Chains A and B, each alone.
Chain A
Amino acid sequence: MDFQATIDADGRIEPRDAMPDGYRKTLIRQIAQHAHSEIIGMQPESNWISRAPSLRRKAILMAKVQDEAGHGLYLYAAAETLGVDRADLLDLLHSGRQKYSSIFNYPTLTWADIGAIGWLVDGAAIVNQVPLCRCSYGPYARAMVRVCKEESFHQRQGFEILYTLSNGTEAQKAMAQDALNRWWWPSLMMFGPPDAASTHSEQSMAWGIKRHSNDELRQRFVDMTVPQADVLGLRVPDDGLVYEDGHYRFTEPDYTELYDVVKGNGPCNQQRLSRRVQAHEDGAWVREAAAAYAAKKAVRAA
C-alpha cells in the first residue's frame, strides 16, 4: 500500500516504508523535540532530589527522574529509525537549533513545585500524548504507549504530593497554592499557540501525526484539572473560570509570554541549556574512553 493509502486507512507507517520528505522531517523535528524535553525536564525535578523532605518522597522522585531519562532513550531510538542519530540531535539541542518544551524554562522554587509539575505538567503532557499513541508513525506510537503508562503514575504522585500539602500545616497549604498560582498559566501554554496561530498543525493533522487541535486539547486539560483542584482545596488562579454546557470556560493565557520563552527569554532558558551542555562536555572524555576501550577490545578479539 502506498503512503497516502496507508494514512487514509488509518494504518501505521513503518521505518522501511516510503514516506514523503516533509513527513520524515516533521516527525524527526517532533520526536527529537519530545526527547529533548524529557532530558531537559529532568533538571527542574532533579533540583529537588537532594532536598526531598522524606525518604519515601526522595525515592519516588529519583525513580521519576530516572523514568524521564528512559523516555528520552526510547524517543531518541524512535527518531533514529528515521535515519538520524542521537549524537547529531543532541548537537542540535545544544546549539539551540532544536527546541524543547518551554515549560521546563520555569524554576522549581519549593517542594510544592514537584507536586505541581507532576499534577499539572505531566497531566498536560498526558493530554497531549495519549493521542500520539495512535500516531501514524509506528515506532513513535509504540514509544508513546510506554511513556504514557509511566506518565500517569507521575501525575498521580504529583497530585498526592499536593494533596498531602493542602491537608497539612498552614505553611504547607500556602506552599501548594503558591505552586498552583505559578504553574497554572505555563501549563495552559503547553498546548501551544491558539489554533488560529499554530503553524504546523494543519499538515500534521492530515498526516495523522496530530489528532486534535491545540485548543481542543487545552479545553480537555482544563475540564480534567479544575475538579481535581477542588478535591485539593486549592484555587485555580483564574477569575474568569465558569462552568457552562459541560465545560469550564477559562481565561486564555498571555501568549506573548509563550513566544518570549520559546525565543529564549524565560527565567531558566540559559541555565537549562548551559547545564545540559556542561554535562555533555564534562562527559566527553568518558564517551571517548568507552569508544577507545571498545576498539581495543575488538582488535584483541580479532
Chain B
Amino acid sequence: MNDLLEYTLRLGDDALIAAQRTGEWIAAAPQLEEDVALGNIALDQLGQARSLLQYAGSLDGRTEDELAYFRDEREFLNLQLCELPNGDFAFAMARLLYFATYQHLLYDELRSGADETLAGVAGKAVKEVAYHVDHATQWVLRLGDGTEESHRRMQAALEALWPYTAEMFASDDLVRRLSVAVDPSTLQDEWTNRVLAVIDQSTCERPSSSYQHSGGRSGRHTEHMGFLLAELQHVARSHPGATW
C-alpha cells in the first residue's frame, strides 16, 4: 500500500469508527438537546470520514463505500480508542475530549500541509472539532464538578480511557517518511497540557495508568471491532454489487 493511501486511511478510519459509535447515542441521550448535539458531532465525524475515504479511494481506484464496507477487520487502521463500546455518558464525553483534542491539533497542522486535498479536508474539519472539544469540555466540567455520582463516573471514565491515548501519538516510519503527514508525536505535549487543564478544572484526579494499548494503526484491534464491523457492513455485504 502506498504511504499516502495508508496515512489517509488512518485518519479516515478514525473518523468513520468514531462516527459509528457516536451515532449509537442518537435516540438514547440523557436529554433531547444532547440527541441533537451528538447527532451533529456524529455527522461531522462521518463527513470527515467520507472526505478522507473518498481521497484514499481515489489513490487506488476504490469508492468510499468499498473502503468502508468491504475491508476486513485487519485492514482497518483506526485507533482502538475510537472502537471501544459506548459506556455511560461520562465515558462518551471523556472519549470525545481525548479524541477531539487530538483531532483538533492534528487538523490544525494538516491544514497548512503540502497535500492540498488533506489540507482542504483539515481546514473544514478543524472548525468542526473545535466545537466537539468545547462540547466535551463543558460536559467534563459539569460532570466532574456536579454531583458525587457524576464525579465518580467522570473519574472512572477518564481513567478507563487513559490507556488508549498514547496510541494517538505513536510515531512510526510511515509518518516520518511521508512529508505531507503530521508526525503525531509532536502533538503530544500540547494535547497533554490541554486535556490535563480540563481535568484539573473538573476537580477530577489526573489519570495515572502506566499500561498503554497499541495496535490499531497496524490493524490489530480490540475484540469489539469485529462486532462493530459486522453491524456496519452486513447489509452491504449481503448484496454485493448493489447500489443504494
Contacts and interface: CB of A to CB of B under 8 A. Distances in A.
A13 to B, nearest CB: 26
Interface stretch (B45-53, B103-111, B185-193): B45-53
B150 A51 contact: no
A86 to B, nearest CB: 8
B43 interface: yes
Interface in A67-124: 69-70, 72-73, 76, 111
B46 A51 contact: no
Interface residues of A, number: 47
Contacts of A256: none
B30 A282 contact: yes
Contacts of B153: 285
B140 to A, nearest CB: 11
Given A50-B23, A50-B231, A54-B65, A289 B239 contact: no
B50 A66 contact: no
A263 interface: no
A279 B88 CA distance: 11
A293 B146 CA distance: 5
Given A293-B141, A296-B145, A66 B26 contact: yes
Contacts of A52: 235
B89 interface: yes
A62 B113 CA distance: 31
Given A46-B26, A49-B23, A62-B42, A283 B31 contact: yes
Given A62-B39, A285-B149, A292-B146, A164 B88 contact: no
A249 interface: no
A63 B20 CA distance: 14
Given A169-B242, A293-B141, A293-B146, A51 B234 contact: yes
Contacts of B16: 55
Chain A binding surface, main DSSP class: helix
A38 B8 CA distance: 38
Contacts of B235: 51-53, 111
Interface string A261-302: 000000000000001000100111111111011101000000
Contacts of B150: 285-286, 288-289, 292
A69 B36 contact: yes
Contacts of A293: 141-143, 145-146
Contacts of B121: none
A286 B143 contact: yes
A43 B65 CA distance: 25
B32 interface: yes
A24 interface: no
A159 B147 CA distance: 48
Most buried by B among A43, A55, A72, A290: A55
A59 B39 contact: no
A65 B43 CA distance: 11
Nearest to A39: B32
Interface in B19-74: 20, 23-24, 26-36, 39-40, 42-43, 46-47, 49-50, 53, 64-65, 68-69
Which 5 A-B pairs give the minimum distances between C-beta atoms?
A: A283-B30, A289-B146, A66-B39, A289-B150, A286-B30
Interface of A: 39, 42-43, 46, 49-59, 62-63, 65-66, 69-70, 72-73, 76, 111, 161, 164-165, 168-169, 171-172, 275, 279, 282-290, 292-294, 296
Interface of B: 16, 20, 23-24, 26-36, 39-40, 42-43, 46-47, 49-50, 53, 64-65, 68-69, 88-89, 141-143, 145-147, 149-150, 153, 231-232, 234-236, 239, 241-244
